[in-house]
Amino acid sequence: MTGIKYVYLFKEGKAEMRDLLGGKGANLAEMTNIGLHVPQGFTITTEACREYYRTGEKLPDGLWEEIQPAIAEVEKQSGKKFGDSTAPLLVSVRSGAKISMPGMMDTILNLGLNDETVQGLAKATGNERFAYDCYRRFVQMFGDVVLGVEGYKFEQMIHQAKEDQAREKGGSVYFDSDLSAASLKKLVSQFKKLIEAETGKAFPDDPRQQLQEAIIAVFRSWNTNRAIFYRRTNHIPDHIGTAVNVQSMVFGNMGEDSGTGVAFTRNPSTGEKKLYGEYLMNAQGEDVVAGIRTPLPISSLAGEHPELYGQFEEIAVNLEKHYRDMQDIEFTIEKGELYILQTRNGKCTAAASIKIAVDLVSEGLITKEEAVRKIDPHQLDKLLHRRIDEGAKLKIIAKGLPASPGAASGKIVFEADIAEKLGNAGEKVILVRTETTPDDIHGVLAAQGILTSRGGMTSHAAVVARHMGKPAVCGCEALRIDYNSRKITIENQEYTENDVISIDGGTGHVIQGLVPMRDPELSGEFQTILKWADELRTMQVMANADNPVDAAKAREYGAEGIGLCRTEHMFMDPVRIPIVQRMILAQTVEEREEELAHLQPMQEEDFYGILKAMHGLPVTIRLLDPPLHEFLPNSEDLITEIAELRLSDQEDREARQKLYDKESLLKKVRALHEMNPMLGHRGCRLGITYPEIYAMQCRAIFQAAARLVKEGYIIYPQIKIPLVIHYKELEILRQMINKIATEICLEQGVLIAYKVGTMIEMPRAALTADKIAQFADFFSFGTNDLTQTVFGFSRDDAEGKFLPHYMSSGILENNPFAVLDRDGVGKIMRICAELAKSTNPELKIGICGEHGGDPSSIDFCQEINLNYVSCSPFRVPIARLSAAQAALKG
Amino acid sequence: MTGIKYVYLFKEGKAEMRDLLGGKGANLAEMTNIGLHVPQGFTITTEACREYYRTGEKLPDGLWEEIQPAIAEVEKQSGKKFGDSTAPLLVSVRSGAKISMPGMMDTILNLGLNDETVQGLAKATGNERFAYDCYRRFVQMFGDVVLGVEGYKFEQMIHQAKEDQAREKGGSVYFDSDLSAASLKKLVSQFKKLIEAETGKAFPDDPRQQLQEAIIAVFRSWNTNRAIFYRRTNHIPDHIGTAVNVQSMVFGNMGEDSGTGVAFTRNPSTGEKKLYGEYLMNAQGEDVVAGIRTPLPISSLAGEHPELYGQFEEIAVNLEKHYRDMQDIEFTIEKGELYILQTRNGKCTAAASIKIAVDLVSEGLITKEEAVRKIDPHQLDKLLHRRIDEGAKLKIIAKGLPASPGAASGKIVFEADIAEKLGNAGEKVILVRTETTPDDIHGVLAAQGILTSRGGMTSHAAVVARHMGKPAVCGCEALRIDYNSRKITIENQEYTENDVISIDGGTGHVIQGLVPMRDPELSGEFQTILKWADELRTMQVMANADNPVDAAKAREYGAEGIGLCRTEHMFMDPVRIPIVQRMILAQTVEEREEELAHLQPMQEEDFYGILKAMHGLPVTIRLLDPPLHEFLPNSEDLITEIAELRLSDQEDREARQKLYDKESLLKKVRALHEMNPMLGHRGCRLGITYPEIYAMQCRAIFQAAARLVKEGYIIYPQIKIPLVIHYKELEILRQMINKIATEICLEQGVLIAYKVGTMIEMPRAALTADKIAQFADFFSFGTNDLTQTVFGFSRDDAEGKFLPHYMSSGILENNPFAVLDRDGVGKIMRICAELAKSTNPELKIGICGEHGGDPSSIDFCQEINLNYVSCSPFRVPIARLSAAQAALKG
């Protein structure tokens, strides 16, 4: 014995012991302690799992000895005995990490059966068929999960057994439950032979040996590829390990007065306050979850077993009160007696979780702060996705269960690997399967949506899709899938791989071809949550928008201004690009100014539009940022043209002239060519070397502003200088801006309240922030470029080349362009913010890179006391919620 | 009166008051106080100059009032009176900043003369011609310097006066001194008319008005373009201002018992301990400096005026004892009486300054520490430049004075502007002028060497060239320069602009065409200084070398190891590049390993050679760094070829095959193409994604090391991983290296003492140094790349595009790739070093970028407690000295 306690009886634990007992173990303890009718058992701690891995995959010293008295206690409670041939104790062995990883790890049921105890079970229940069914299930599961024999080999034998029985005894033998005791008995023996042939060892008959091997199998299942993948996707640390729960079995398959089911206390799709779930009589739990038999809705239980239903309803209400959240409950009825096997906070759609949170507040169960904290901001993204336009004419080709809301279109693919490959290449695909398994997760992640032909609302596909916010239609039985020929048949109509279909996870419709989609609106509850979030957060939320349409969308979603209005897209307009090119190729400042004079009124209209759309709120306009060669044709095309022209008829005068022109243009393109444009002549380096370009933009801004002020609008233009690395750049450009502003204000006789600030996107700007801050009204972290320079990662190159390898090999946990890298980029941001506030305490500091809409990054922004975040309009609600959650942490 | 004292009599000051009185003023005070015979006067402080600029170019309040009693005191000391018609006091008015800026600012002599006082001067000296000569010089100088009338207009009038006098009076009138009193008197009146015509105002006759205007002129001369340019080149701050020294005149032009001269206490070219200088009898100081009349060597004075020479020798010895340095002394003899006008620490060649420092130590005047501190490491660079090969056959076409040592070849150019333009474009040019002026500095800076036809060893060209370490031949009188036709004639042979010549500043030879040059060796004194430096410094000095030849050179120059051995050049070898290309284009790991197997024995020989050359010292080998596409043909060439092949005969099978091959190659080149290769798939990112490449390099290193150990060599291989951004990269690669090393050591039965470290060249590496340090034996700052990423400057692009503008406009003081940017790059280095030592106090930290050989950067490395610097072999001596100086500062 090591002195460490590795084993806890359920009655010894409590809810607060999640770290040690895992979520499931802590819950079983909690349920036991609040008096629910829970089959008793014990939990082996996560510490034991960690020790198992620490010592090179060996059961910890003393663990096995500690398990013995726990078994004795369970024997005492249940009145059954482990390995006893009269009243045998059977147990389930289940994994249970601190954070739930549904379906990811292994479970063994009915452990404790052997040729002797099965007789005891048959005798005790008076049901030989049931006993052998248990035995068959147990040997099959143990063989598959613990001993690693491939599952399909058992299934083939079952299939054969059904045929044999039908041939020998007659009658329809379609379901497993149609198999007779004799058939099952024979199957058990066949299974054992199979296992011995495959593993070279006899099936263990000793229940204690079974238990020991099952515990090891659960520990091992922590590190399967699918579990590791799931943890990576869900940001669960690898080192925490799983607990193991050993619990005495109760049986839902003891006849028609037995059953098993799963139910949510509220509807996990809509949030409606009504029991929502499914059950099957005369079945064990996995029959419901695996989607092999289509179960009945829980409401049917009210009609068939009103008393049990009443009990269950009461338990549901009490559990919600106790856990102050919607519950996901597993139950079993053994000969008319209701057992609760598990309860946990229910996973549900974003819409449902919002409605539930708001309802729980109005029911007085939780506070507004708790409601805001409850919502996973990552999930909101899905609510803000599109749905099928109501007015669209749809060719509906089938209907299944509306398993996960939202709509999607894409090419049909049948395999998760292909879905992943195409999805990563940017293709939109719909993953179509008879049913999905945990091995398909990477494909689900990469697909736009999921369509299955089997399984219910709680099938694997449905649960995973809802969790990931992917639209899903499940149990679409009209679908015939032929994996070999890669075809679907629906009522004689064939659809092959790569044909485009659409699905509507809200209605269950499967639709032929692409369909028109509409942007989402925010529900009343969503607005309520966001209103609460606004009350709680301390950071401002702004949006990135370059035009009046996006600005209006940002306003609608609650943005408090525009944090980043890029001006380069305005230069790319097809009408303007020839002028822009002439401006770039100008030989003299005068020539350049002439072309700029043509651009100025156009830019003025751009700024007029967006400032007007945001009246009353600030609009932060970033002056021209990209290198000038981005506006010119590319040199490779020119070289090809020139090579061809050279070989053409040189007597032709026109061709000669054309060749000359192309060669001249190529010379200029080459002169502007840069080895590393990301680190080149761009941003304020243009403003410093070609001040006339920035001057034009500023005149356009202040002319537009002056017009609006005269028209009575209240506007707050803010000018943002990109790519600053030295305070003198900002000093010089600020002087220029002030001069232009003063001139125009005096000329137009108006006052314009404007600000001047800078992007912080190069490490040197961050490192010299104390000096730069003295010339700035605001700082705006451009974390895209800052990430590029801090890592030395060119995003264009890294994401296609080595970055995937860096993530899959575990060097980087996340793509740093999606989730802010706190150790590196975050550290320099913190240094910057501290330096800047030391010389300019009034400075407003924010972030406008893509990270501005990422919850974990927003959390970090709050941690380093930033004043605002700015993100794309569609992410504004997420940012509002995330900012509130970050503020609540502080 | 403001209460601030702006005016100090010489006897009120002292040497320590340089900041306030300027170098010259403090020196005059010091000389006065140590009893030298110095013409008396007073100094107006630098504070007055700063106040002048602070108040918008107005003389400070109270200054003028304060000057009056000072004048009275000088009158009392000299027995003369300002503006007096009997015994008039004449004064010089000179600038004098804290740091000497020779020839950069304005000087007025003989101030106080007018039509009345000139009579007094004539009477007092009994020499009317002298008095009018003074008067003529004064009006000319005042007109030019104070009133801004162009100098050549006065010169034209003098020329005319000579012709007039010759015509009217006969005799040869060649020199200014041949002009008669009457001619001079007439000239004065013509000058005054010219001035009135040009400026619209009469020449000021009131000596006090003259003085006031002269003081203002000196203040103003602080901000002429040439002064600003000089300060920028010499890193002198703009804000410190100049003092003004007002000093009573003594006259070297009072006849043949008067004279003036300049002398160094030791030879400024060689350091030899012997008076070295020039003088002219019956002349004023500027005649010597300007190089208009060729003066006599100071040794002649011993023959002609032995008593004066003796006096001067004694003064020289005393001044050296007092100032503990070689002195540069200006003197005047007035009617046989020796006055010291100025003394300062003498500027000299690097070789001379080293010899002088070593001699001063052996003479007991200074300590070793002071000697080491005295040497300007920037200057050493020149000693380490090349000289003409002794064995070369030279076509010597002329001989001048050996004014500044070293040899150079280049195209003849005649104008500083052209020299600058060509020099900046990378052309080697020799600037050829009759004489140079301060306006030519930018040309001197850009030229390889200077050749003048007039002027002596202390002429402007000679002084400036020595200071800049440029070879110079001066006073080459055989040279006839025709600026108009841009030709030189030497003994009837013509050389036109752009003809190539060579000069040898050590012999004074001018040579036709290019000449073979040799690398320098270090003198005994140089070795002595470096030995002292080695005793004093605390940082190690290593060298960057990629092959045994460079390694040997580094050893010879005192490197204590190789701090950076790049391996990419080894891949570029023409024999190897086809293998390297096949390796890169390999489709499978097996194919790649096959090609690497061919490369391995070659790499092994590379490492064998360099490790052997450095036996007993560490060799730090950096694994492959550049992106793989650098080893492939470029896409533009391929596109041209393909376009041509496409238009060729498609019936030709061979052509079709060739087209196919080229297209395939282009596809691969494109696949490897990167938008920003600087931030791309290179450095250890290659080692992580293609571990077989680094594995091959490591095997080659350890195989070579094992052979050497067996052969009895003592070797210290160190493996350096480039471009690390995350500790896991280093962790993974270090494991791989350890595995290979162990295998080879066991196989070969040897022990190899090796280390593994990393480059710190990306901001993220610096910011997470605490983690990375746990896996490293050493850190090596790659400040080239670190500068690129901290600034976001692609060096390839910045230096050709915006960086020159950033420097000329004053945004950046220096090119950050030449001089380490302390505010940005330096700050992150400091953060890195602190983080790293916090987790690994044993870590060795150094620098191996180009900055490793730059004195100011080395100084910073000491400041942040680095352990070593590594630089190119030729800069090792500079680094040794700089490291010692940095250590002495600490």
- Per-residue pLDDT of A227-264, as tens digits, reads 888 888 778 888 899 999 999 988 887 778 889 999 99
Chain A residues within 8 A of B760 when measuring between CB atoms: none
Amino acid at A879: A
Q: Do A801 and B768 touch (CB under 8 A)?
A: no
SS3 helix, strand, coil % of chain A, rounded to 5? 50, 15, 35
pLDDT of residue A17: 94
CA distance linking residue A832 with residue A770, whole number of Å: 8
pLDDT of residue A78: 82
Q: Do A801 and B828 touch (CB under 8 A)?
A: no
Total CB pairs under 8 A between chain A and B = 194
Residue B227, min C-alpha distance to chain A (Å): 23
Of A639, A685, A689, the CB nearest to B640: A639
- Does residue A373 lie in a domain region? no
Verify whether residue B460 is a known catalytic residue: yes
Q: Do A676 and B677 touch (CB under 8 A)?
A: yes
Buried b vs exposed e over B696-716: b needs ≥16 C-beta within 10 Å?
A: bbbbbbbbbbbbbbeeeeebb
Which residues of A are documented as binding site?
Answer: 566, 622, 761, 782-785
Q: Do B767 and A827 touch (CB under 8 A)?
A: yes
Looking at the DSSP bridge assignments, the partners of residue A7 are A44
Residue A624, min C-alpha distance to chain B (Å): 16
Q: Which of A783, A811, A838 is the mutation pick for testing B, counting most B CBs within 10 A?
A: A811
Q: Do A678 and B675 touch (CB under 8 A)?
A: yes
Looking at the DSSP bridge assignments, the partners of residue B277 are B263
Structure tokens belonging to residue A699: 């005149």
B591 CB-side CA count, 13 A? 10
**To which residue do tokens 């083939």 refer?**
A156
pLDDT above 90 (res A603): yes
pLDDT of residue B495: 93
Which residues of A are documented as binding site for Mg(2+)?
Answer: 761, 785
Task: Mark whether B236 and B264 lie in a shared domain.
Answer: no
Q: Which long-range contacts (CB under 8 A, 24 or more apart) does B415-424 make?
A: B415/B443, B416/B440, B416/B441, B416/B442, B416/B443, B416/B444, B417/B442, B417/B443, B418/B443, B419/B443, B419/B444, B419/B446, B419/B447, B420/B445, B420/B446, B421/B446, B422/B446, B423/B447, B423/B448
Domain end marker among A652, A673, A694: A673
Chain A CA closest to residue B804: A689
- Is B513 annotated in some ligand binding site? no
Residue B232, min C-alpha distance to chain A (Å): 17
Task: Mark whether B82 and B167 lie in a shared domain.
Answer: yes
Domain end marker among B248, B279, B313: B248
Ramachandran angles phi, psi of B487, nearest 5°: -140, 155
Structure tokens belonging to residue B397: 């076409």
**What is the 8-class DSSP label of residue B23?**
H
pLDDT of residue A356: 96
CA distance linking residue B719 with residue A838, whole number of Å: 42
Q: Do B767 and A677 touch (CB under 8 A)?
A: no
What's the average model confidence in pLDDT over A660-681?
86
Domain end marker among B348, B374, B400: B348
Pick the range with the lowest mean pLDDT from A320-324, A378-382, A618-622. A378-382
Of A640, A762, A828, the CB nearest to B643: A640
- Does residue A610 lie in a domain region? no
CA distance linking residue A197 with residue A194, whole number of Å: 5
Q: Do B827 and A791 touch (CB under 8 A)?
A: no
- Is B784 annotated in some ligand binding site? yes
Paired sense of beta strands A107-111 and A242-248, if any: unpaired
Task: Mark whether B335 and B418 lie in a shared domain.
Answer: no
Paired sense of beta strands A755-760 and A778-781, if any: parallel
Structure tokens belonging to residue B637: 């060439």
Of B679, B801, B811, the CB nearest to A726: B811
Q: Are A562 and A544 within 8 A, CB to CB?
A: yes
Q: Do A798 and B680 touch (CB under 8 A)?
A: yes
Residue A666, min C-alpha distance to chain B (Å): 12
The catalytic residues of A are: 460, 848
Helix (H) or strand (E) holding A535, with range, is helix A524-536
Residue B821, min C-alpha distance to chain A (Å): 10
Chain A residues within 8 A of B687 when measuring between CB atoms: none
Task: Mark whether A233 and A277 lie in a shared domain.
Answer: no
Q: Do B674 and A796 touch (CB under 8 A)?
A: yes
pLDDT of residue B777: 97
Residue A408 sits in a domain whose CATH number is 3.50.30.10
pLDDT of residue B2: 53
Of B647, B732, B794, the CB nearest to A644: B647
Paired sense of beta strands A868-871 and A540-544, if any: parallel
Q: Do A762 and B796 touch (CB under 8 A)?
A: no
Task: Mark whether A157 and A18 lie in a shared domain.
Answer: yes
**DSSP-assigned states of every residue in A726-738:** SHHHHHHHHHHHH
Q: Do A798 and B723 touch (CB under 8 A)?
A: no
Residue A672, min C-alpha distance to chain B (Å): 9
- Does residue A646 lie in a domain region? yes
Task: Mark whether A213 and A81 lie in a shared domain.
Answer: yes
Chain B CA closest to residue A769: B824
Task: Mark whether B207 and B68 lie in a shared domain.
Answer: yes
Q: Which long-range contacts (CB under 8 A, 24 or more apart) does B571-574 make?
A: B571/B599, B571/B624, B571/B631, B572/B631, B573/B602
- Does residue B439 lie in a domain region? yes
**DSSP-assigned states of every residue in B547-611:** SHHHHHHHHHTT-SSEEEE-SHHHHH-TTTHHHHHHHHH-SSHHHHHHHHHHHHHHHHHHHHHHH
Which residues of A are documented as binding site for substrate?
Answer: 566, 622, 761, 782-785
CA distance linking residue B80 with residue B88, whole number of Å: 5
CA distance linking residue B162 with residue B175, whole number of Å: 9
pLDDT above 90 (res A613): yes
Chain B residues within 8 A of A681 when measuring between CB atoms: 797-798, 801-802
- Ranges assigned E (strand) in A483-528: 487-490, 493-496, 500-504, 509-512, 517-518
Paired sense of beta strands A91-97 and A107-111, if any: antiparallel
Of A644, A767, A802, the CB nearest to B689: A802
Q: Do B688 and A811 touch (CB under 8 A)?
A: yes
Task: Mark whether A241 and A265 lie in a shared domain.
Answer: no
Residue B586, min C-alpha distance to chain A (Å): 16
Chain B CA closest to residue A796: B675
Q: Which of B726, B790, B822 is the mutation pick for testing A, counting most A CBs within 10 A?
A: B790
- Is B524 annotated in some ligand binding site? no
Residue B675, Cβ neighbours under 10 Å: how many? 14
A310 CB-side CA count, 13 A? 3
Q: Do A824 and B677 touch (CB under 8 A)?
A: no
Name residues whose C-beta falls within 8 Å of residue B210's C-beta, 6 or more positions apart in sequence. Answer: B111, B112, B142, B204
Of A639, A802, A805, the CB nearest to B636: A639
- Ranges assigned E (strand) in A538-685: 540-544, 562-565, 618-622
Highest mean pLDDT range out of A16-20, A169-173, A229-233? A16-20
Q: Which of A826, A818, A837, A739 is nearest to A779 (CA)?
A: A837
Chain A CA closest to residue B769: A824
Task: Mark whether B320 and B392 lie in a shared domain.
Answer: no
pLDDT of residue A1: 44
- Is B424 annotated in some ligand binding site? no
Q: Which of A764, A801, A812, A823 is the mutation pick for testing B, counting most B CBs within 10 A?
A: A764
- By three-state DSSP, how is residue B458 classified? coil
- Can you give B504-522 as a three-state secondary structure string? ECCCCEEEECCCCEECCCC
Of A726, A762, A794, the CB nearest to B680: A794
Q: Do B805 and A688 touch (CB under 8 A)?
A: yes
CA distance linking residue B648 with residue B665, whole number of Å: 19
* Residue tagged active-site, from B305, B460, B509, B851: B460
Residue A298 sits in a domain whose CATH number is 3.30.470.20
Each residue's pLDDT tens digit, A291-337: 566 788 999 999 999 999 999 999 999 999 999 999 999 999 988 88
User: B172 is in which domain, residue-wise?
Assistant: 7-248
Residue B151 sits in a domain whose CATH number is 3.30.1490.20
Buried b vs exposed e over A833-848: b needs ≥16 C-beta within 10 Å?
A: bebbbeebeebbbbbb
Chain B residues within 8 A of A790 when measuring between CB atoms: 762-764, 767, 789
Chain B residues within 8 A of A636 when measuring between CB atoms: 635-636, 639
Chain A residues within 8 A of B821 when measuring between CB atoms: 764
- Does residue A829 lie in a domain region? no
- Does residue B299 lie in a domain region? yes
Provide the ipTM: 0.73
Task: Mark whether A465 and A425 lie in a shared domain.
Answer: yes
Name residues whose C-beta falls within 8 Å of residue A487's C-beta, 6 or more positions apart in sequence. Answer: A481, A494, A495, A496, A497
Looking at the DSSP bridge assignments, the partners of residue B721 are B758
Q: Which of A40, A34, A41, A7 is nearest to A21 (CA)?
A: A7
Structurally, how many domains does chain A consist of?
4
- Does residue B253 lie in a domain region? no
Residue A867, min C-alpha distance to chain B (Å): 24
Q: Do A792 and B723 touch (CB under 8 A)?
A: yes
Task: Mark whether A83 and A104 lie in a shared domain.
Answer: yes
Under-70 pLDDT residues of chain B? 1-2, 285-293, 382, 385-386, 458, 467-469, 649-650
Each residue's pLDDT tens digit, A531-545: 999 999 999 999 999
Task: Mark whether A131 and A22 lie in a shared domain.
Answer: yes
Chain B CA closest to residue A676: B676
Category of B594 on φ-ψ map: left (φ > 0), alpha (ψ -120 to 50) or beta: alpha
Q: Are B852 and B879 within 8 A, CB to CB?
A: yes
- Does residue A178 lie in a domain region? yes
